[in-house]
């Protein structure tokens, strides 16, 4: 009984501790400290984008050292790993968005934010042209921002490889708007299929959900979609449910090519058990408003053209370079051989320039285009810029003290000045010894449906591969801990509980 009483007290105290801490974090969040005003006399650092790379940089940066200006058409940070869950309403979209102004308000030095698209970069004049492409326009829609230092973190756009009909007929899955569009379309297909006296062939087409691209985006979305069907649509619209089908099309011989062989096999078996039709060695060549046309490589090596009718088509075939990045690459001779983005050196400086850095999906540094890489690059640049600012301030102080000593002009007594100079030089030596960027891979994870996930985790000096329900719990806790803010974490947990308890909301907005 005594042990029980102690266990109870301990639990009570832990709960109280967690609640107290959460309350304290929320209080700090709602009551940020006064900010130092921007100093236009300091170097102007312009940051393009509010994605993984740029936000990691801004988080790390001591903003009081620069005149920081952020430009992005998106005034929020998006936690992309949970985006596939928004397509079915497992998570509501606002739970994985964090307003960038809230992030910037917590910095010590004030930061200027412009919701705009950078439309071109003139690296010779050192100016960025910005355009307001939002729905509501004022008298000024275009402007220029001069910079001393520029960070390009604009990410990538969706690859279509110029395949006809893709842009016009399919949904992508990169932005919050894409997830909302997919969510609406799923239910539109279902309700149209259930229309009075709907034609048989039409029901089959409308209930056929096709996903092109068997990378992590395609696999995670297919898994989420099948869950939505099994757990909700089937119960609420039983009359058409036998016709519901998800097909995953991949050009290569297997899905999730970047994962280990063991996990690829596990994923493909699990997807088949979930009744997802996997069509590998199938390359989509053309898309119309109701069909995809693909070339299938048969086991004997011959090729066959097939036409697949669909109701919803989600296109997830990876990344392509954004126009602004292409334009900058074309202006810099040293970038002429680069195809996949801005080639950078080991300090992430864009090759052929001195004051432009690139991070994340728009940079080519020899790593995969993932959030993990982008965040580590942003973090590295934040430290680099902090060090550069410290170096400048120490050098200025040394210069000031040396001049005083030379002129014997009052101020700090010579002995003290000499001591201070020595200490500053020691510090400078340490600061200047900055190691180049090195990426540390922590592993890859993907949700594969029916409360299972796969993970290739880097463990000490080796790799640890696992798949199943325990990995799913690990996947959930890992991504929950990585959410940007306490607010995001609380909202995501509530969404998970809500969709488990009441089912996903199938209303079509
Ligand atoms: P983004 O995060 O894409 O940010 C780019 C920013 O630039 C945005 O704010 C955008 O609005 C802005 N921008 C665009 N054009 C302009 C312009 N002209 N001017 C100014 N700003 C501009 N990676 C993982 O490691 N783990 C995962 O689990 C994972 N899951 C994913 C799930 C999905 C559905 C998707 C699509 C991707 C996922 N990724 C994941 C990949 C990861 O999201 C990207 O690698 C990461 O977002 C790249 O970060 P970034 O900062 O380069 O670009
Ligand atoms: P991807 O580049 O990883 O995969 C795209 C797939 O589409 C490839 O396997 C390719 O063979 C296939 N493909 C291309 N053209 C095709 C065609 N015409 N027909 C059929 N198949 C075709 O792209 P994805 O999944 O969008 O991921 C982009 C990046 O984001 C990757 O670096 C990925 O690692 C990362 N990411 C990571 C996630 C995670 O870790 N859980 C989740 C989502 C994305």
Measure the CA–CA gap between 296 and 361, rounded to whole angstroms.
30
- The preferred substitution site among 317, 369, 446 for testing ligand 2, maximizing ligand atoms within 8 Å of CB, is 317
Does residue 208 belong to any structural domain of this protein? yes
Helices (H), 170-213: 176-193, 200-206
415-440 average pLDDT score: 86
CA angle 200–202–205, rounded 5-degree value: 115
Instruction: Give percent of the chain with pLDDT exceeding 70.
Output: 99
pLDDT of residue 377: 98
pLDDT recorded at residue 224? 98
Q: Quote ipTM for the complex.
A: 0.99
Residue 29 in this model has a pLDDT that exceeds 70 = yes
Does residue 259 form part of some domain? Answer: yes
**Residue 425, domain extent:** 389-432
pLDDT at residue number 417: 83
Same domain, 124 and 78: yes
Same domain membership, residue 65 and residue 22 = yes
DSSP state, residue 252: S
d(CA 237, CA 206): 14
DSSP classification of residue 82: G
* pLDDT at residue 334, as a whole number: 96
337 and 300 assigned to the same domain:
no
> Which is nearest to 360 in space by CA: 347, 346, 345, 372?
372
Cα dihedral 400, 402, 406, 412 in deg (nearest 10): 70
When pLDDT is averaged across residues 107-134 and rounded to a whole number, the result is 97
59 located within any domain: yes
Could you tell me which residues come within 8 angstroms of residue 146 by beta carbon, excluding any fewer than 6 positions away?
A: 44, 125, 126, 127
155 pocket-lining for ligand 1 (C-beta < 6 Å):
yes
Mark 357-370 as b/e (b = at least 16 C-beta within 10 Å): bbbbbbbbbebebb
Q: Is residue 509 part of a domain?
A: no
- Which ligand is closest in space to the CA of residue 255? 2
Ligand 1 in reach of 370 Cβ (< 6 A):
yes
Flag whether pLDDT at 276 surpasses 90.
Answer: yes
State the ligand closest to the CA atom of 318. 2
Strands (E), 406-461: 443-449, 452-459
**Statement to judge: residues 170 and 262 lie in one domain:** yes
Q: Check pLDDT > 80 for residue 461.
A: no
pLDDT value of position 408: 66
Of 63-67, 254-258, 398-402, the poorest mean pLDDT is in 398-402
266 lies in the same domain as 403: no
Task: Return left, alpha or beta for 459; rule: phi > 0 is left, psi -120 to 50 is alpha, else beta.
Answer: beta
SS3 content of the chain, % helix, strand, coil (to 5): 45, 25, 30
Whether the Cβ atoms of residue 348 and residue 183 lie closer than 8 Å to each other:
no
Tell whether the model's pLDDT for residue 247 goes beyond 80: yes
CATH number for the domain that contains residue 27: 3.50.50.100
DSSP character at residue 253: S
Confidence (pLDDT) at 424: 85
Residues 314, 363, single domain; the answer is: no
Any idea which of 29-33, 227-231, 376-380 has the lowest mean pLDDT? 29-33
Q: What is residue 94's DSSP assignment?
A: G
Three-state DSSP class for 283?
Answer: strand
User: Of 436, 421, 448, 1, nearest to 222 (Cα)?
Assistant: 448
The minimum-distance atom of ligand 1 relative to the CA of 55 is 51
Same domain, 171 and 154: no
Sign of the CA dihedral 447, 319, 177, 211?
negative
What is residue 289's three-state secondary structure?
A: coil
Q: Average pLDDT of 50-58?
A: 98
CA of 367 to the centre of ligand 1 (A): 15
**Looking at residue 3, what is its pLDDT?**
85
**Residue 229: is its pLDDT beyond 70?**
yes
Residue 508 in domain: no
Across the range 241-253, mean pLDDT stands at 96
Mean pLDDT of 112-139: 97
Query: The tokens of 302 are what?
Result: 């011959």
How many domains, the chain?
3
With 80 as the cut, is the pLDDT of residue 82 above it? yes
- pLDDT tens digits for 383-415? 999 999 988 888 888 888 888 777 666 667 778
Q: Are residues 326 and 311 in the same domain?
A: no
Q: Which of 81, 214, 367, 382 to mutate to test the pocket of ligand 1 (most atoms within 8 A of CB)?
A: 81
Query: Which one, of 245, 239, 238, 242, lies nearest residue 186 by Cα?
Result: 245
Domain identity same for 19 and 119: yes
Say whether pLDDT at 28 is over 90: no
DSSP per position, 334-353: GGTT--SSEEB-TT-BBTT-
pLDDT band of residue 291 (cuts 50, 70, 90) is: very high
Q: At residue 430, does pLDDT exceed 80?
A: no
Question: Does any domain span residue 335?
Answer: yes
Share of the chain above pLDDT 90, in %: 84
8 A C-beta contact, residue 392 and residue 409? no
H or E element that contains 112: strand 112-115
pLDDT digits (tens, 9 = 90+) for 151-189: 999 999 999 999 999 999 999 999 999 999 999 999 999
For the cut 90, the answer to whether the pLDDT of residue 136 exceeds it is yes
Residues 293 and 195 in one domain: yes
Ligand 2, pocket residues at CB < 6 Å: 81, 163, 212-218, 220, 249-252, 257-258, 283-284, 316-319, 368-370, 444-446
- Quick one: which atom of ligand 2 is closest to the CA of 368? 32
Is residue 261 a part of any domain in this protein?
yes
Write down the pLDDT at residue 464: 86
Question: What's the pLDDT tens digit per position in 302-360?
Answer: 999 999 999 999 999 999 999 999 999 999 999 999 999 999 999 999 999 999 999 99
Task: Tell me, yes or no, whether 150 and 31 share the same domain.
Answer: yes
**Helix, coil or strand: residue 57:** helix
- Structural domain includes residue 450: yes
Query: What does pLDDT average to over the chain?
Result: 94
Pair (124, 105) in one structural domain: yes
Report how far ligand 2's centroid is from the alpha carbon of 159 (Å): 10
What is the rounded distance in angstroms from the CA atom of residue 181 to the CA atom of residue 367? 31
């Amino acid at each position: 009984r005594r042990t029980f009483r102690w266990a109870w007290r301990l639990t009570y105290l832990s709960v109280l501790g967690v609640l107290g801490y959460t309350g304290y974090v929320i209080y700090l969040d709602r009551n940020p400290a006064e900010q130092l005003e921007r100093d236009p006399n300091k170097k102007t650092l312009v940051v393009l984008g509010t994605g993984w790379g740029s936000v990691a940089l801004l988080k790390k940066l001591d903003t009081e050292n620069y005149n920081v200006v952020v430009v992005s058409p998106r005034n929020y940070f998006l936690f992309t790993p949970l985006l596939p869950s928004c397509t079915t309403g497992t998570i509501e979209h606002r739970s994985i968005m964090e307003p960038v102004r809230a992030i910037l308000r917590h910095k010590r030095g004030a930061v200027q934010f412009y919701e705009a698209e950078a439309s071109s970069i003139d690296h010779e004049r050192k100016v960025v042209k910005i355009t307001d492409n939002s729905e509501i326009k004022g008298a000024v829609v275009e402007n220029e921002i001069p910079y001393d230092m520029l960070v390009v973190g604009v990410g990538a756009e969706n690859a279509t490889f110029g395949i006809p009909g893709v842009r016009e007929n399919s949904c992508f899955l990169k932005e919050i708007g894409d997830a909302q569009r997919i969510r609406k379309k799923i239910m539109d297909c279902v309700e149209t299929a259930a229309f009075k006296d709907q034609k048989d062939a039409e029901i089959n087409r409308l209930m056929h959900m096709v996903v092109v691209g068997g990378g992590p985006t395609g696999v995670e979305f297919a898994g989420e979609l099948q869950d939505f069907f099994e757990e909700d649509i089937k119960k609420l619209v039983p009359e058409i449910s036998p016709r519901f089908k998800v097909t995953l099309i991949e050009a290569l011989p297997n899905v999730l090519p970047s994962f280990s062989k063991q996990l690829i096999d596990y994923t493909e078996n699990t997807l088949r058990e979930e009744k997802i039709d996997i069509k590998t060695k199938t390359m989509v060549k053309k898309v119309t408003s109701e069909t995809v046309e693909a070339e299938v490589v048969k086991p004997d090596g011959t090729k066959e053209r097939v036409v697949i009718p669909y109701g919803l088509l989600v296109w997830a075939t990876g990344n392509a370079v954004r126009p602004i990045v292409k334009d900058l690459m074309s202006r810099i001779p040293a970038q002429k051989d680069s195809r996949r983005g801005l080639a950078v050196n080991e300090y992430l400086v864009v090759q052929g320039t001195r004051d432009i850095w690139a991070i994340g999906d728009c940079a080519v540094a020899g790593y995969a285009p993932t959030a993990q890489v982008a965040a580590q690059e942003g973090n590295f640049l934040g430290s680099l810029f902090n060090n550069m600012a410290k170096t400048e301030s120490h050098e200025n102080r040394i210069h000031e003290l040396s001049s005083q000593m030379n002129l014997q002009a009052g101020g700090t007594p010579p002995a003290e000045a000499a001591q201070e100079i020595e200490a500053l030089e020691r510090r400078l030596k340490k600061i200047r010894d900055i190691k180049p960027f090195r990426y540390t891979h922590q592993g890859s994870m993907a949700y594969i449906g029916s409360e299972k996930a796969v993970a290739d985790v880097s463990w000490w000096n080796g790799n640890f591969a696992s798949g199943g329900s325990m990995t799913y719990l690990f996947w959930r806790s890992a991504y929950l801990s990585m959410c940007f803010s306490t607010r995001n974490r609380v909202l995501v947990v509530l969404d998970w509980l809500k969709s488990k308890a009441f089912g996903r909301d199938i209303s079509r907005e």
